[in-house]
Amino acid sequence: MQNRSDSAPARKDWWRGALIYQVYPRSFQDSDGDGVGDLPGLVARLDYIASLGVDAIWVSPFFRSPMKDYGYDVQDYRDVDPLFGTLDDFLRLLERAHELGLRIIIDQVISHTSDQHPWFVESRSSHDNPKADWYVWADPKPDGTPPNNWQSVFGGTAWQWDARRRQYYLHNFLSSQPDLNFHHPAVRSQVLDDVRFWCRHGVDGFRFDASNFHFHDRQLRDNPPAAAAARVASVRADNPYSMQRHVYDKNQPENIGFLRDLRRVLDECGAVSLGEVGDEDALTLMAAYTGDGDKLHMAYSFNLLTPEFSAAHIRAEVEELEWRIKKTGGWGCWSLSNHDVARVLSRWGKEHGDRQLAKTLLAMVCSLRGSACIYQGEELGLTEADIPFESLRDPYGINFWPEFKGRDGCRTPMPWSAEDEHGGFSPEKPWLPVPAEHLTLSVSGQQADPGSVLNFFRNFTLWRRSQAPLVSGDIQFLDAPEPVLMFRRTLDGEEILAAFNLGPKPVRVRVPAGVTGFSAVAGHGLAGELQGDGKLLLGRYDGFFGKLRQG
C-alpha cells in the first residue's frame, strides 16, 4: 500500500505542497447502522484513504452539536457528538492514521457557536452575567429595527431579536449560530485554550472555518452597496448578502493580531493551520493571513469553486496570489470541490460527468503551486446529486428553493459498492439518498478498472510524490490559446512543463524547445503527444507533463 512511510523522511514544512483529503464524516461510512457516517466508520476506511497517496485528512466537524448546520454549529468544542462516536473513537482515528503515515487536520468553527452552547445560554440570560459580552449584542434602532444593514450569508438580516435581553445578536450564518465577540479578551483566550485541548490529544493541524469572520466593526457601521463585478464568489447573486461590500462585518484589521496569537499556540504544539477565506477580495486576505510565517500556514478561497471555468480564469487567480505572496512567503491551497459547493464535474463539466475531464482536473489542481484539497468522491469523478425537495436537509437550500437547491447534492454518501444496498455506506436508509448514477462509479467497481478515475489518481499521486518541482517548486505560466493551461514548475534547476486542455476538442499548441515527455505518466489517462514540429497534441480534456532541458 502506498503511504507516507514509503517515501523519504517528512519535511518540517510537509504542508507546503501537501495533498489534503477532505472527509465529510456524516457521509463517509456508517458503522452502527443509523444511516449517518461516524468516526469508527472513518477508521475502517483509512486504508482506502492511505491508498490514495494523500498526505493528510481534513475531517469536517464531529463535535457535539444540535446539527442545525450539520456540525458547523458547535455546542461543545471539547466533546465528540454521540452521533459520530466518542473521544476514544477519535483517538483511535489519530493512532491508526499515524500508523498509515496520514496526518489529521480537524475543522475548528470558532467565529460562531450554536445557540445551545452553554456560553450563549449564559450570555443571553442577562446584561450583567460573566459572559454577557461574549457574543455580539446591540440595541435596536429607535424604531425597533436591527442596528444596521448587515446581511446573513444564508439570507436576510444578520441580526436576531432576543426577548430575554431585549437586544439583537449578530449571526453571520443561521440565526441559531450567534457570533462570538472576539473583541473580548476572555473569548480569544478561551478559543485558544480549546485549540490547545486538541493539540494535547495529538492532532496535526486545524482547518479554521470562516477565518475572516472573527471580528466585527465596533461602531456597527452600515456596509456600502457592492458593485456587480465585486460580488462574493461563494454566494449566489439572488442572495442579498452579495449586494453589499463587506467592509464592516468581517475582514477587520484586529484579525491579524489574533492570527498571530493563534500561530504561537500552533507552533508550541507543532500543528499546522488551513484557513477558509470567503470574500470578494479573498486573494488579498489569503496573502495577508499567511505571510511572514507568523499567522496561518496556508489558506484557501472560493475562487476556483465558482461556475467560471476557463484556462484564463485559473491562470489569473493563481498568478495574482503568487504576486501577492512573493515577498512574504505566504502559501495558498487550491480546491475544486468541497462540502459547500456543487461538485466540479457538474459546475465545470456541464452535468456530463466526463471521466477524462475528472482525471485532467485532478492532475491540474495537484500541479498548481500551493497545497491542494481533494473532496471525498472527487477521486471517483462524482457529479452533483439532484436531491428532491422532500429529501433536503440543508437549511440554506430549503431557504432558497427552487432557485438554489443548497449543498446536499455534494454531501451524499460515498458509494463503496454497487452491489450493496445504499452503496455499502450503511445497511439502513442513509440521511441523504445515494444517487443511482453514483453507484456506477463505486470504489469497488473502479478498483477493478485500470482506466478508472480512482486508479488514475492513485498512479498520479504516486508519481507526483517523486517530482519535487510539482510539490514545492516555483510556477511560471506560459502563453497558450484558450482552453489550454500551460506552466512550468521549477526547483533547484529542475523544470517540469505541465499542459492541460480544458476543452472537449483536441488542440495543438507550441511548447518550449527541448521538452521531453515523462514515460512514467504515459498510459495512465493523460495522452498528450509531442510532435516533431515543436508542438504538442492534446486530446479532449487531456494533459501532458514534460521535462525541460536546462540551458
What backbone phi and psi angles, to 5 degrees, belong to 477? -80, 145
Q: How far is it, in rounded angstroms, from Cα 326 to Cα 488?
A: 17
What cell does 177 get?
A: 449560530
268 tagged catalytic? yes
Residue from 169, 295, 148 nearest 220 by CA: 148
* C-beta atoms surrounding 142 within 10 Å: 6
CA distance 358 to 545: 17
- What are the strands, taking DSSP E only, across 248-292? 272-277
- What is the C-alpha to C-alpha distance for residues 410 and 121, in angstroms, rounded to an integer? 33
- Is residue 128 part of the annotated active site? The answer reads no
Question: Which residue, 10, 209, 208, 197, is CA-closest to 103?
Answer: 10
Are the C-beta atoms of 156 and 238 separated by less than 8 Å? Answer: no
- CB 376, CB 397: distance < 8 Å: no
CA-to-CA distance for 263 and 275, rounded, in angstroms?
Answer: 12
Question: CA 104 → CA 95, 101, 162, 301, distances in Å?
Answer: 10, 10, 39, 21
Residue 246 per-residue DSSP state? -
Identified catalytic residue from 55, 69, 115, 209: 209
Contact 525, 451 (CB under 8 A): yes
Active-site amino acid positions:
209, 268
